[in-house]
């Protein structure tokens, strides 16, 4: 069977989509990947002036070209964040018109956060949970002609016009994550260009999107329950999401090494985990030892929660090659931190600064709540001050 998977996102990073795509390729070799988004979005100026999904409008002609390119597949899978949800709807609607026999599924963060919204689109199903095992079960039943509408983590539209809302599967365990293929990287992929339609993704596209870095995620989950974060929905769906899960350190090391074989120019790795520093010291030590022995390149950790930082963790990671971190302090105001149920205190950021300075590493602070409408001018000043080490 032919499967077309399309990611609507600013750029081609798409870490979650790539993990799922690799699994889909494992169970069905005739699987093709497509990327739709803005071009050269990672310029410094654009990063300050544009939010996720805030792109130029796609006209009806381009939407038609997108749909025509995806048409003819037995299964079409859409993946998007909310910023691209309207474009996803338009392409799904046009695909229904030009390829009515294609079974369409919408997955990604938007159907997880807003399933009732996503299921109203012109799709046959949505995936509102982890997709790998759910899709495999669906695919086997769909291919063999059996009833597939009972697959958990998915909602299906019935011929009666009603929607079957199935329950959630148990979250994948760390042992199960260790059995997954490495994220899809390079190889046969296509990217949409307004002047040419879908064309093969080139090394130049990777350089424009990632520079000399490889984008990765090792762990899944977050122990916090900040009310402003989408993780609250994941936790509401399954409280076990608070517990960190990840494949083995050797699995992660081998994924990076495989990517470097395909693109020898890779000279750093960027980890986008939500809670990297919440991983246990013993596991981080195993990771650091293997990294220093086998990868031998610097890496950056973007998911640093101040309250989970320990000096010994920083020491072992900087020893391995960590030279940058991005830490979300969110606000220097204790009142706002309590209001948003953000664990920890503003003093944690100062403590981490001391750790980083002692290891001569660079730290970047993020103060996402400084512009909160309900905050006072004083609280804004405190937040800005706290984010300036």
Q: What share of the chain is helix, strand, coil (3-state, %, to 5)?
A: 40, 20, 40
pLDDT bracket for residue 344 (50, 70, 90): low
Cβ-contact 241, 171 below 8 angstroms: yes
d(CA 83, CA 53): 4
What SS3 class is residue 157?
Answer: strand
Check whether 352 has a pLDDT greater than 90: no
243-281 burial, b if ≥16 CB within 10 A, otherwise e?
Answer: ebbbbbbebbbbbbeebbeeeeebebbbbbbbbbbbbee
- Please list, in sequence order, all residues whose beta carbon lies within 8 angstroms of the beta carbon of residue 160, skipping any fewer than 6 positions away: none
At residue 230, the pLDDT reads: 80
> What is the pLDDT at residue 224?
78
For residue 286, pLDDT over 80 is answered with yes
pLDDT for position 187: 86
**3-14: per-residue pLDDT in tens?**
999 999 988 999
Pair of tokens at residue 123: 């799709």
In this prediction, residue 280 carries a pLDDT of: 94
Picking from 289, 332, 280, the residue whose alpha carbon sits closest to that of residue 308 is 280
The mean-pLDDT minimum among 31-45, 229-243, 256-270 falls in 31-45
The more confidently predicted of residues 324 and 33 is 33
Share of the chain above pLDDT 70, in %: 79
* Long-range contacts, 150-158 (Cβ 8 Å, 24+): 153/127, 153/128, 153/129, 154/105, 154/125, 154/126, 154/127, 154/128, 154/129, 155/115, 155/119, 155/125, 155/126, 155/128, 156/124, 156/125, 157/119, 157/123, 157/124, 157/125
What dihedral do alpha carbons 252, 216, 92, 35 form, nearest 10°?
Answer: -110
Measured CA to CA, the distance from residue 190 to residue 271 in angstroms comes to: 24
The answer to whether residues 346 and 303 touch, using CB atoms and an 8 Å cutoff, is no
Q: Which domains does the chain have, with CATH numbers?
A: 3-177 (3.40.50.280), 212-386 (3.20.20.70)
Structure confidence at residue 7 (pLDDT): 97
**Average confidence (pLDDT) over 257-264:** 97
Task: Say if CB 22 and CB 181 are below 8 A apart.
Answer: yes
CA distance 233 to 357: 36
Mean pLDDT of the chain, nearest integer: 86
Selected residue with higher pLDDT from 307 and 217: 217
What pLDDT sits at residue 304? 83
The residue with greater pLDDT, 324 or 57, is 324
pLDDT of 376 higher than 60: no
Mean pLDDT of 334-356: 58
Q: What is d(CA 168, CA 166) in angstroms, rounded to the nearest whole number?
A: 7
Helix (H, G, I), strand (E, B) or coil at 214: strand
What's the CA gap between 234 and 187, in Å, rounded?
32
Kindly state the average pLDDT of the residues 280-309: 92
pLDDT of 363 strictly over 60: no
User: Of the segments 36-40, 194-198, 317-321, which one has the largest average pLDDT value?
Assistant: 317-321
Query: Span 233-240, mean pLDDT?
Result: 92
- Per-residue pLDDT reduced to its tens digit, 151-184: 999 999 988 889 999 999 999 999 999 999 999 9
For 125-137, write each residue's pLDDT tens digit: 999 999 999 999 9
Centroid of chain to Cα 371: 25
Please state the rounded mean pLDDT for residues 133-150: 98
The mean per-residue pLDDT over the stretch 307-328 comes to 88
Task: Report pLDDT for 365.
Answer: 47
Burial category of 196 from C-beta neighbours within 10 Å (exposed 0-12, middle 13-18, buried 19 and up): exposed
- Average pLDDT, stretch 334-338? 69
* pLDDT digits 0-9 by tens, 51-78: 444 556 799 999 999 999 999 999 999 9
Q: What is the pLDDT of residue 333?
A: 65
């Amino acid at each position: 069977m032919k499967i077309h998977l399309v990611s609507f996102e600013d750029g081609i990073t798409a870490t979650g989509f790539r993990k799922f795509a690799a699994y889909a390729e494992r169970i069905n070799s005739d699987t093709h990947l497509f990327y739709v988004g803005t071009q050269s979005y990672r310029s410094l100026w654009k990063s300050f002036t544009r939010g996720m999904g805030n792109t130029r409008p796609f006209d009806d002609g381009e939407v038609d070209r997108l749909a025509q390119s995806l048409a003819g597949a037995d299964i079409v899978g859409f993946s998007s964040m909310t910023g691209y949800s309207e474009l996803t709807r338009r392409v799904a609607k046009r695909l229904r018109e030009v390829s009515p026999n294609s079974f369409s599924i919408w997955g990604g963060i938007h159907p997880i956060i807003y399933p009732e919204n996503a299921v109203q689109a012109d799709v046959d199903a949505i995936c509102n949970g982890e997709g790998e095992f759910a899709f495999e079960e669906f695919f086997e039943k769909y291919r063999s002609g059996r009833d597939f509408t009972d697959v958990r983590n998915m909602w299906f539209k019935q011929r009666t016009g009603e929607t079957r809302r199935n329950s959630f599967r148990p979250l994948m365990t760390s042992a199960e994550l260790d059995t997954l293929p490495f994220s899809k990287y390079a190889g046969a992929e296509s990217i949409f260009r307004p002047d040419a339609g879908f064309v093969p993704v080139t090394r130049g596209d990777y350089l424009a999107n990632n520079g000399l870095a490889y984008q990765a995620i090792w762990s899944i989950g977050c122990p916090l329950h900040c009310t402003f974060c989408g993780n609250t929905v994941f936790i509401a769906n399954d409280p076990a999401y608070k517990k960190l899960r990840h494949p083995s350190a050797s699995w992660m090391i081998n994924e990076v090494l495989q990517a470097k074989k395909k693109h020898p120019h890779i000279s750093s790795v960027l980890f986008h985990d939500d809670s990297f520093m919440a991983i246990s010291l013993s596991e981080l030590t195993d990771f650091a030892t293997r990294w220093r022995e086998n990868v031998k390149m610097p890496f950056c950790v973007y998911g640093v929660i101040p309250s989970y930082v320990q000096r010994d963790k920083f020491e072992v990671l900087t020893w391995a090659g960590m030279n940058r971190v991005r830490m979300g302090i969110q606000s220097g105001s204790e009142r706002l931190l309590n209001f948003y149920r953000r664990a920890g205190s503003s003093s944690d950021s100062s403590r981490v600064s001391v750790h980083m300075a002692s290891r001569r590493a660079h730290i970047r602070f993020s103060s996402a709540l400084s512009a909160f409408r309900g905050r006072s001018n004083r609280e804004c000043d405190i937040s800005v001050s706290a984010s300036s080490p």
